[in-house]
């Protein structure tokens, strides 16, 4: 039996790690699975773990008010030292580009434990955008022993940095999570319609998620202005915007969008509610990373309100379009999708480059081979 440790800190990590944890848990005779949460995002993290039925073995509770990256890194590294000494893992898993992923990779390296990096090889090309994520993902790449890249482009990014060994293209586990999540909620449609009872689903739904710190200030005001213009121009749409709690988001959103007739400003959504709403949407305006990958699997065009994205595969495949934060461009590209069925169809029917929902099985099979485990038998 091999000891496997999954380290998770934020909601996006939990979403993308959940199907992997569930896949490995199917084989308790071969793997002793432990899950450690750092609590980098506490409440939102718990929502996802509860939804997927995952109970952490360790909870570091690192999140403190007004915490800096210095605090999170230092406290996290020391806390993980104790977890690694307790669990003695043969392999530990980290995901993505968070401070938790970086600290987990560094802790594993210090203990000479093999680190598996899920969603390896994403690069924006600018180490300060997004910050600190771009730096974290580069550092994880050079500390990890196994690199599971979502796309060929991500694999090529690693090759440019001299990382060639144990690199596998497996798709993105966020698609596994999406399909698993939708299967869990499909029996409870009435609950979800009731939750969103103020929204008119006979109209076309535009889902908006925007909260990135590099857009704070004038760029964010431009995003809000564009959304207002869209709502004013197209009365047959319902704009639904779960608004991040950060004051830098709340203030411009309320300034531009409060009281606009067909704009619904709602509280942040848990994962189940978000994917249900995404599945009911006509298109998505976002600066989120995960949604750029998820929405195309549901046939939803994505307009990315960022100047750069580390997920260019979607742009190249035609499932997403990079529109920046210019209010005229955002309005024009949204209007094009709302008024031109051909343009809409080109994006909605484009093939999603991020996978087919089989990522977790591919990772399991690779690790099984690396650990010299024979034919797996489920419990």
* Same-domain check for residues 215 and 286: yes
* Same-domain check for residues 73 and 157: yes
Contact 104, 83 (CB under 8 A): no
Task: Give yes or no for residue 333 having a pLDDT over 90.
Answer: yes
Across the range 221-246, mean pLDDT stands at 95
Which stretch of 47-56, 160-169, 213-222, 224-233 has the lowest confidence by average pLDDT? 213-222
CA atoms of 292 and 302, how far apart (whole Å): 6
Instruction: Give the predicted TM-score (pTM) of the model.
Output: 0.87
179-187: long-range pairs with CB below 8 Å, 24+: 179/297, 179/357, 180/18, 180/19, 180/22, 180/52, 181/51, 181/52, 181/271, 181/272, 181/275, 182/275, 182/276, 182/279, 184/51, 184/52, 184/272, 185/272, 185/275, 185/276
* Same-domain check for residues 117 and 218: no
Tell me whether residue 177 is in a domain.
Answer: no
Query: What percent of the chain has a predicted confidence (pLDDT) above 90?
Result: 81
CA atoms of 71 and 58, how far apart (whole Å): 20
Which comes out higher in pLDDT, residue 211 or 106?
Answer: 106
* Same-domain check for residues 210 and 276: yes
* Same-domain check for residues 13 and 110: yes
* Same-domain check for residues 74 and 212: no
pLDDT at 376: 56
Token pair listed for 52 = 């997927």
Tell me whether residue 375 is in a domain.
Answer: no
Contact 263, 186 (CB under 8 A): no
Q: Is 33 exposed, middle or buried (0-12, 13-18, 19+ CB in 10 A)?
A: buried
Tell me whether residue 186 is in a domain.
Answer: no
DSSP character string of 236-269: TEEEEEE--S-HHHHHHHHHHHTT-TTEEEEPPP
Residue 311 binned pLDDT confidence (cut-offs 50, 70, 90): confident
Residue 379 binned pLDDT confidence (cut-offs 50, 70, 90): low
Angle between helices 173-185 and 359-370 (to 10 degrees): 130
Give the dihedral sign, CA 315/154/305/234: positive
Domain count, the chain: 2
Domain range enclosing 291: 191-348
Tell me whether residue 185 is in a domain.
Answer: no
* Same-domain check for residues 29 and 125: yes
Task: Give yes or no for residue 375 having a pLDDT over 60.
Answer: no
* Cβ partners under 8 Å of residue 324, min gap 6: 305, 306, 307, 330
Task: Give yes or no for residue 63 having a pLDDT over 90.
Answer: no
Task: Give yes or no for residue 153 having a pLDDT over 80.
Answer: yes
Domain with 213 in it: what CATH number? 3.40.50.2000
pLDDT in tens, 117-149: 999 999 989 998 888 999 999 999 999 999 999
DSSP character string of 45-82: HHHHHHHHT---SEE-----TT--HHHHHHHHHHHHHH
* Cβ partners under 8 Å of residue 21, min gap 6: 6, 33, 35, 52, 54
Tell me whether residue 31 is in a domain.
Answer: yes
* Same-domain check for residues 339 and 365: no
Token pair listed for 355 = 């996978």
Q: Which residues are catalytic?
A: 97, 119, 133, 211, 213, 244
Q: How far is CA 77 from CA 73, 102, 134, in A?
A: 6, 9, 19
* Same-domain check for residues 203 and 271: yes
* Same-domain check for residues 25 and 134: yes
Tell me whether residue 378 is in a domain.
Answer: no
Average pLDDT, the chain: 93
pLDDT in tens, 240-270: 999 988 888 899 999 999 999 999 999 999 9
């Amino acid at each position: 039996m091999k000891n496997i440790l999954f380290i998770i800190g934020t909601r996006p990590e939990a979403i993308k790690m959940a199907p992997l944890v569930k896949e490995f848990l199917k084989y308790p005779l071969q793997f002793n699975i432990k899950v450690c949460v750092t609590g980098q995002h506490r409440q939102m993290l718990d929502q996802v773990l509860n939804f997927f039925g995952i109970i952490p073995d360790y909870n570091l509770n690192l999140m403190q008010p007004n915490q800096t990256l210095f605090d999170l890194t230092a406290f996290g590294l020391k806390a993980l030292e104790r977890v690694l000494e307790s669990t003695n893992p043969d392999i530990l898993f980290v995901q993505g580009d968070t401070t938790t992923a970086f600290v987990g990779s560094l802790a594993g390296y210090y203990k000479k434990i093999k680190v598996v990096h899920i969603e390896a090889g994403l690069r924006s090309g600018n180490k300060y955008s997004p910050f600190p994520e771009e730096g974290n993902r580069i550092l994880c790449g050079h500390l990890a022993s196994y690199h599971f890249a979502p796309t060929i482009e991500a694999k090529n990014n690693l090759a440019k940095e001299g990382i060639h060994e144990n690199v596998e293209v497996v798709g993105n586990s966020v698609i596994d999570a999406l399909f698993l999540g939708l299967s869990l909620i499909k029996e409870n449609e009435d609950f979800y319609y009731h939750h969103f009872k103020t929204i008119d689903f006979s109209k076309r739904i535009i889902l908006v998620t925007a909260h990135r710190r590099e857009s704070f200030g004038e760029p964010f005001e431009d995003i809000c202005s564009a959304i207002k213009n869209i709502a004013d121009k197209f009365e047959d749409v319902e704009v639904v915007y779960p608004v991040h709690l950060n004051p830098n988001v709340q203030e411009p959103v309320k300034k531009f969008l409060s009281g606009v007739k067909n704009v619904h400003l709602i509280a942040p959504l848990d994962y189940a509610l978000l994917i249900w709403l995404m599945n009911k949407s006509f298109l998505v305006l976002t600066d989120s990373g995960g949604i750029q990958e998820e929405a195309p699997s549901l046939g939803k065009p994505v307009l990315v309100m960022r100047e750069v994205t580390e997920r260019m595969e979607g742009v190249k495949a035609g499932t997403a379009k990079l529109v920046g934060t210019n209010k005229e461009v955002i309005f024009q590209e949204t209007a094009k999708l709302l008024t031109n069925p051909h343009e809409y169809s080109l994006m909605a029917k484009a093939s999603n480059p991020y996978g087919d929902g089989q990522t977790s099985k591919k990772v399991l099979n690779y690790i099984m081979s690396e650990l010299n485990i024979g034919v797996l038998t489920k419990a």
